[in-house]
Amino acid sequence: MSLNKKKELSIVAKKLCRELRANQTHSEEILWDRIRNRQLLGKKFLRQHPIFYDLKGRETFSIADFYCHEIKFVVEIDGEIHKLLRKNDYDRDQIMNLVGLQVMRIKSEKVIDDLNGVLKSLENYINKFSNSL
């Protein structure tokens, strides 16, 4: 999956991912507790995982909140700040789609208020796309 050939970029990505894992949001913590260790339909999810890509000849990366390589699926938890970042989020989603990944965005308050509904949505999505692979 990685186009990354620059060791420096990989080092930066790894450092940022570690920092994000150490400072995860409450919503991320709640969801991670329910999808880690193949708890969700036997799928392996990684948290705060770098996705490397080449954009117009410039190698870079984005960090997915949760990523399942088996089905090329990214789950993003959007808190209040994302209301201000809609264009940025849209652009990121388009890039993820271009490199063959599907993205699902979930509002952080939905994770807190309706975790079972969120898990059901994830299961439906996984079932839909697992069958088409």
Reported as a pLDDT band with limits 50, 70 and 90, residue 6 is confident
**Structural domain containing residue 121:** 7-131
Report pLDDT digits (tens) over 80-114. 665 656 778 888 999 999 999 999 999 999 999 99
Q: Express each pLDDT in 22-50 by its tens digit.
A: 999 999 999 999 999 999 999 999 999 99
Instruction: State pLDDT tens for residues 51-76.
Output: 999 877 888 899 999 999 999 999 99
pTM: 0.88
Query: Are residues 81 and 25 in contact, defined by beta-carbon separation less than 8 angstroms?
Result: no
Q: How many domains does the chain divide into?
A: 1
Long-range pairs for 121-130: beta carbons < 8 A, 24 or more residues apart: 122/35, 122/40, 122/75, 123/40, 123/41, 125/73, 126/40, 126/41, 126/43, 126/68, 126/71, 126/73, 127/41, 129/71, 129/73, 129/102, 130/41, 130/71
Report d(CA 25, CA 79) in Å as an integer: 9
What pLDDT, on a 0 to 100 scale, did the predictor assign at position 88? 83
In this prediction, residue 79 carries a pLDDT of 77
* Residue 2 counted as domain residue: no
Domain membership of residue 118 (yes or no) is yes
Q: Which of 71-75, 82-86, 118-122, 124-128 has the lowest mean pLDDT?
A: 82-86
| Domain harbouring 53, CATH code | 3.40.960.10
For residues 69 and 1, the answer to whether their CB atoms sit within 8 Å is yes
